[in-house]
Amino acid sequence: MKKNLIFLGIETSCDETAASIVMGDKSGNAKILSNVVSSQIEIHKKFGGVVPNLASKAHSEMIDIVIKRAIKKSKISFKDIDGVATTSGPGLLVCLMVGMTAGKTISNFIKKPFYGINHLEGHALSAGISQKISYPYLLLLISGGHTQFLSINKFGDYKRIGTTIDDAVGEAFDKVAKMLGAEIPNGKIIEKMSSKGNSKKYNLPKPILYKSGCNLSFAGLKTAVMLQTKKIKDYKSKCDMAASFQETINQILKIKTAKAMEIFLGLHPILKHKNFVVAGGVASNKSIRNNLLKLSKSKGFNIIFPPVKLCTDNAAMIAWAGIKNHQNGKRSNINIESTARWPLDPKAPFMKGPGLKL
């Protein structure tokens, strides 16, 4: 195997069109040569959420521009690429298909292997781009579509130990931002408003806090914010609500992470390094980072966050997952199809919907 591998990564699973060139060596070192992300926030903001057909159209319009830009910035040419990695799920099918078509076409053209990548695996391995992390590690994945605790035992062996039973934490942030009148429904706004608010003003519920292991629930919290927000008119109180919501999320994550650490140590009783990785868009929130940092210190865990630009959706993490697939002997497969649902732990039970036993 060549010493250094150069992979093109492509990501179009939701509302970000992204391409990146990443170089990786055999010892696990990575270098991002380019990381281009084109956001569709402006397109979707008037609808209050991502509109799949518009997202797909915007991906189609931007994909070749974004790929060309990534190649140019990296100062390599197509002939230097050793493989093409593209998100093939989970995500919006009409969006995934745009990236998949582009990735497969390039792979065919340059005659280099194609890897369809699980977006969640991209997030799960993303912290390893900036620093080497030994397996196993505990992962908290907090994004717009997913909220899960996983034991990352080794590459390709992922055991889910807890999950949300309703909304993802990022989704709750987005919805609360919308309720509080934010023009762009995004967690970043809540973080900003929180810095101006009193986190003790509103008392909000923390569903299943001491129930169901490290499974989580945010639907009841979101509804409580909705009901109490109806009575709020002034901006200061809205900031107080944002701060109270963020504080409640912090309290939930603190208790649930402590539980997840206990379960993780039960799975791996003899551990040299107790590593805890927090990844996904919500991991860019400073207050959440500080909260989990404090907890980790008290529990003897070494906490690792990917840099902020690798927390939110990007293609560097997809290129890196492609390199890892290649290095670990996973077969390249040009016939892989886009898939809306693709759990990282296929053995974990589906945990949403009525009749759920907690």
Q: Which residue, 206, 185, 200, is CA-closest to 240?
A: 200
Total interface residues for ligand KG4 by CB under 6 A: 18
Query: Which of 79-87, 208-216, 276-284, 346-354 is the region at the interface with ligand KG4 (rule: CB under 6 A)?
Result: 276-284
CA distances from 69 to 21, 151, 231 (A): 10, 36, 48
284 binds, among ligand KG4, Zn ion, none (CB under 5 to 8 A by kind): ligand KG4
**Residue 119 tokens, joined:** 């977006």
Cα 334 → chain centroid: 25
Q: Whole-angstrom Cα distance, residue 257 to residue 195?
A: 24
Decide: is 342 part of the binding site for ligand KG4 (CB under 6 A). no
Cα 135 → chain centroid: 19
Contact with ligand KG4 (CB under 6 A) among 188, 206, 254, 299: 188
Give me the least distance between CB of 281 and ligand KG4, in Å please.
2
Q: Whole-angstrom Cα distance, residue 311 to residue 313?
A: 7
Q: Whole-angstrom Cα distance, residue 228 to residue 296?
A: 33
Helix 169-179, helix 187-194: angle, nearest 10: 70
Contact at 8 Å (CB) between 105 and 56? no
Decide: is 281 part of the binding site for ligand KG4 (CB under 6 A). yes
Contact at 8 Å (CB) between 278 and 305? yes
Could you say which residues in the range 114-153 bind Zn ion, by CB under 5 A?
A: 143
Site string for ligand KG4, 94-113 (x = CB under 6 A): --------------------
56 vs 107 by CB, closer to ligand KG4? 56
Q: Whole-angstrom Cα distance, residue 57 to residue 12?
A: 11
Indicate the residue type of 12. T
97 vs 241 by CB, closer to Zn ion? 97
Decide: is 313 part of the binding site for ligand KG4 (CB under 6 A). yes
Decide: is 343 part of the binding site for ligand KG4 (CB under 6 A). no
Query: Which of 35-43, 102-110, 139-147, 335-343 is the region at the interface with ligand KG4 (rule: CB under 6 A)?
Result: 139-147
289 binds, among ligand KG4, Zn ion, none (CB under 5 to 8 A by kind): none
H or E stretch at 154: strand 147-154
Contact with Zn ion (CB under 5 A) among 125, 244, 313, 317: 313
Could you say which residues in the range 156-185 bind ligand KG4, by CB under 6 A?
A: 170-171, 173-174
- Residue ranges that bind Zn ion, judged by CB under 5 A: 143, 313
- Residue ranges that bind ligand KG4, judged by CB under 6 A: 143-145, 170-171, 173-174, 186-188, 191, 280-282, 284-285, 312-313
